[in-house]
Amino acid sequence: MRTQVVIIGGGPSGLLLSQLLHVRGIDSVVLERKTRDYVLGRIRAGVLERGLLDLMREAGVADRMEREGHPHDGTSIAHPGGMFHIDFKALTGHSVMVYGQTEVTRDLYDAREKAEGKIEFEVEGVEIHDADTESPHVTFRRNGTEHRIDCDFVAGCDGFHGVSRQAIPLSVRREYEKTYPFGWLGILSETPPVDDELIYANSERGFALCSMRNENLSRYYIQCGLSDKPGDWTDAAFWQELKRRLPEPVAERLVTGPSIEKSIAPLRSFVCEPMRWGRLFLCGDAAHIVPPTGAKGLNTAASDVHYLYNALRQFYEERDAEGIDRYSERALSRVWKAERFSWWFSSLLHRFPEQSAFDLGMQRAELEFLESNRAAQTAMAENYVGLPY
């Protein structure tokens, strides 16, 4: 095969890049290790920044999102001293959209299939060759048969454990990482959300988050130990602990029910530099990971897609390589800002094993400052709705 761009990874970032390139008449092939049903079975966050909303519209896949998504104009933050509201719309003029990542992925798959886009599922042994030359190619196996795709560029959208980042020599790449001493236990339940907007809670017992997917599908999280397993927690124990971490009026109106999904996610921050090597570009989790606090994972991947899509569009339409040459610099500048916000928000809301009385006092003062200071609220709101590209 021959194509212009090989995209490794059939998750939302790879599909969004493929669809945006298609709109501009740029050909791509997507390689995905799993099946479509497997990808759509992943339970992920669903808070979309304004930049991602615009990209979905530009890609022509925003109709269902606009119809079924839930715009949120703000969020609430609870702490031992009370609860306060951050009004995104009033502070920044922008909102976020609650629309599940699974639904984003489904819309993108439907669009690619409608356009007869090339997606190869269940591929194995993907290897990137000659990425540091002007003639890269990718090989893979499917159903026991070896395949080769010659291309102009390779986009690595294959996540933290994918092959793309590993294709960049160790002598070239530098990795930065922070691991957190706790995880998030999350459940999905067919119950009405406890509030119209998200509630983040800092309590003496640890962090909690009340989120939702739609009017009758709620997503709740509590901070837990790294050694905990989902099976250690019954539904009853989860609900009891969640209520203890929420303000009493919120806990009283919480509707509980059996969980339909339960999982534990570790928290970490990770950045790989550079995000480009020759004609190979890293996008999303292949290059960076953020804690889920603040919902920056998918949104930061989308910002990478924005920079790469426009760099490739500039190359093919204007024969200008400036966007390609500056892709890593531009993407990383925004990545590090998203990492900073996720780190700050995580530090603000969680209880850490090694926290001293002074540390707790600083955390309390930071929360009280955020509650009372409009400039601090504006800075938080600007980051939450998404910094401009």
Q: Which H or E run contains 88?
A: helix 88-92
Q: What are the structure tokens assigned to 49, written together?
A: 């920044």
Query: Is 176 one of the catalytic residues?
Result: no
Q: pTM of the entire structure? A: 0.95
Instruction: State how far the alpha carbon of 220 is from the alpha carbons of 21, 147, 190, 255, in Å.
Output: 36, 43, 11, 11
Of 22, 70, 72, 288, which residue is the catalytic one? 72
pLDDT of residue 215: 86
Instruction: Give pLDDT, residue 114.
Output: 96
Name the pairing type of β-strands 199-203 and 74-79: parallel
Is the CA virtual torsion 224, 229, 234, 235 positive or negative?
A: positive
Q: Do 63 and 53 form a contact (C-beta atoms < 8 A)?
A: no
Residue among 137, 220, 292, 327 flagged as catalytic:
292
Q: For residue 339, give both structure tokens.
A: 């990492």
Catalytic position from the list 288, 296, 306, 350: 296
User: 296 an active-site residue?
Assistant: yes
| Confidence (pLDDT) at 214 | 83
CB 7 within 8 A of CB 157: yes
120-140: per-residue pLDDT in tens? 999 999 999 999 999 999 999
384 belongs to the catalytic site: yes
Question: What are the pLDDT tens digits along the chain (389 aa)?
Answer: 999 999 999 999 999 999 999 999 999 999 999 998 989 887 676 899 999 999 999 999 999 999 999 999 999 999 999 999 999 999 999 999 999 899 999 999 999 999 999 999 999 999 999 999 999 999 999 999 999 999 999 999 999 999 999 999 999 999 999 999 999 999 999 999 999 999 999 999 999 999 998 888 899 999 999 999 999 999 999 999 999 999 999 999 999 999 999 999 999 999 999 999 999 999 999 999 999 998 999 999 999 999 999 999 999 999 999 999 999 999 999 999 999 999 999 999 999 999 999 999 999 999 999 999 999 999 999 999 999 99
The CA distances from residue 81 to 78, 215, 352, 361, 373, in Å, are 8, 29, 19, 13, 16
Task: Give the pLDDT score at 42.
Answer: 76
How high is the pLDDT of residue 366? 97
* From 99, 180, 200, 309, active-site residue: 200
CA distance 85 to 63: 30
User: Is 72 a known active-site residue?
Assistant: yes
Q: Residue 145, SS3?
A: strand
pLDDT of residue 302: 98
Sign of the dihedral through C-alpha 231, 236, 238, 240: negative
In the sheet with 153-156, reading across from the earlier edge strand, the strands are 118-120, 28-31, 5-8, 153-156, 280-282, 276-277
Owner of token pair 């809301």: 349
